[in-house]
């Protein structure tokens, strides 16, 4: 597509406010400009994530310079490249992590944050990869250094993050324990490769982890819940375990006894990806391309897509996540 063929305007999902209540509506905005190290992608699909819901609620504003259109991951076709981009060309099909702007027909994307669509995957499947795979790799493997033979505990095992974490940890030789809220979801965790699945509504995950590990505890814990889970994670952790908090489904505040943190020599970490420099995200993209993408193409790891929704109905997609019944990702289809 030549510059003369590029449209000036596009459809995008915008956050609007009526009587102090935010809502999503399809509107018309300018097609984004690209910088010298960016590419312009014609978006075909965009993954939906809980940070999108938080942004709509006013709790997760985009970093300075980022698009205020929701959407942190996408898949599509490159239609324009910046003058300093050499690793991609017009016509390449990619999926990418973005700081915003995924819920739109076109998006400006740093070239370093693009990845080729794994062979055999559709645009819909590929759109659900970046946010969860970047997040899990960065936290579980870069920061926590999960090793083969260790025990890995992930909360929210059937979320997008959870289904990704189970498969990645298992693929790299860890023993995996997952928590979920129904017996059906626990079975889904087992089907994805978890060794143990705990129904947190009917079982005490601390006691179940101790039973499953002969009282040793989990070496790495990935937590999206926080709140009262902070102190319970301390109890479920092994000596010198690494605990990562990446979201606050039960709130950002907790009252806890930090004694186990000292006695067990625990490491408590937190992170977000959105505001990190492009270079950091590019390094994660390179690691995924080398170490994880071959596993996806060999069908040893698979994306889990729960439902596809037209991007004009983005509010319905958000309602699905709020309802909590989903197993895997919800993806917007963009026309």
**pLDDT, tens digit (0-9, with 9 covering 90-100), for 235-248:** 999 999 999 999 98
Q: What are phi and psi of 238, to 5 degrees?
A: -80, 170
The candidate with the shortest Cα–Cα distance to 134, out of 106, 153, 115, is 115
- Report the SS3 class of residue 150: coil
Same topology, domains 3-129+274-333 and 134-270? Answer is no
pTM of this structure: 0.96
What is the model's pLDDT at position 18? 86
Q: What is the CATH number of domain 134-270?
A: 3.40.50.720
Cβ pair 220, 229 in contact under 8 A? no
pLDDT tens for 31-76 read: 999 999 999 999 999 999 999 999 999 999 999 999 999 999 999 9
Return the residue matching tokens 């089907």. Answer: 191
- CA 97 centroid distance within chain: 9
pLDDT tens for 304-332 read: 999 999 999 999 999 999 999 999 999 99
What is the model's pLDDT at position 20? 81
**Both tokens of residue 94?**
């990619």
Q: What is the DSSP letter of 140?
A: I
Cα dihedral sign, 51-227-307-130: positive
Return the residue matching tokens 């965790």. Answer: 189
What's the whole-number average pLDDT of the chain? 96
Q: Which residues of the chain fall short of a pLDDT of 70? A: 1-4
**Both tokens of residue 309?**
């929704």
Cβ pair 301, 132 in contact under 8 A? no
DSSP sequence for 79-101: EEE-TT--S--TT-EEEEE-SS-
Cβ neighbors of 303 (< 8 A, separation 6 or more) are 121, 125, 126, 128, 129, 296, 328, 329
Cβ neighbors of 309 (< 8 A, separation 6 or more) are 48, 316, 317, 320, 330, 331, 332, 333
Rounded Cα distance, 21 and 41, in Å: 31
DSSP sequence for 211-251: HHTTT--EEEEEES--TTHHHHHHHHEEEEEEEEE---TT-
Give the domain ranges of the chain. 3-129+274-333, 134-270
When the candidates are 3.30.2290.10, 1.20.1250.20, 2.40.50.140, 3.90.180.10, the CATH number that belongs to 3-129+274-333 is 3.90.180.10
Rounded Cα distance, 125 and 22, in Å: 29
The candidate with the shortest Cα–Cα distance to 97, out of 280, 230, 249, 271, is 280
């Amino acid at each position: 597509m030549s510059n003369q063929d590029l449209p000036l305007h596009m459809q995008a999902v915008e956050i609007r406010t009526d009587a102090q209540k935010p809502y999503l509506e399809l509107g018309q905005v300018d097609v984004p400009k690209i910088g010298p190290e960016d590419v312009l992608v014609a978006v075909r699909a965009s993954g939906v994530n809980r940070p999108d819901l938080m942004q709509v609620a006013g709790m997760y504003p985009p970093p300075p310079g980022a698009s205020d259109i929701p959407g942190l991951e996408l898949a599509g076709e490159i239609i324009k490249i910046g003058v300093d981009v050499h690793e991609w060309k017009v016509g390449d099909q990619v999926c990418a992590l973005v700081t915003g702007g995924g819920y739109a027909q076109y998006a400006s994307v740093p070239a370093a944050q693009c990845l080729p669509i794994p062979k055999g995957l559709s645009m819909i499947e590929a759109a659900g990869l970046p946010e969860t795979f970047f997040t899990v790799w960065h936290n579980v493997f870069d920061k926590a250094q999960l090793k083969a033979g260790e025990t890995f505990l992930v909360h929210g095992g059937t979320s997008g993050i959870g289904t990704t974490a189970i498969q990645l940890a298992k693929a790299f030789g860890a023993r995996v324990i997952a928590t979920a809220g129904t017996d059906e979801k626990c079975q889904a965790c087992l089907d994805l490769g978890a060794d143990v699945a705990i129904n947190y509504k009917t079982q005490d995950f601390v006691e179940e982890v101790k039973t499953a590990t002969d009282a040793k505890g989990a070496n790495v814990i990935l937590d999206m819940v926080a709140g009262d889970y902070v102190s319970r994670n301390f109890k479920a952790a092994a000596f010198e375990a690494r605990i990562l908090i990446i979201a606050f489904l039960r709130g950002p505040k907790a009252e806890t006894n930090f004694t186990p943190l000292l006695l067990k020599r625990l490491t408590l970490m937190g992170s977000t990806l959105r505001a990190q420099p492009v270079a950091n995200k590019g390094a994660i993209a390179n690691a995924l391309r080398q170490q994880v993408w071959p596993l996806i193409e060999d069908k040893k790891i698979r994306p889990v897509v729960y439902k596809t929704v037209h991007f004009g109905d983005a509010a319905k997609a958000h309602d699905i996540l709020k309802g909590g019944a989903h197993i895997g990702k919800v993806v917007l289809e963009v026309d």
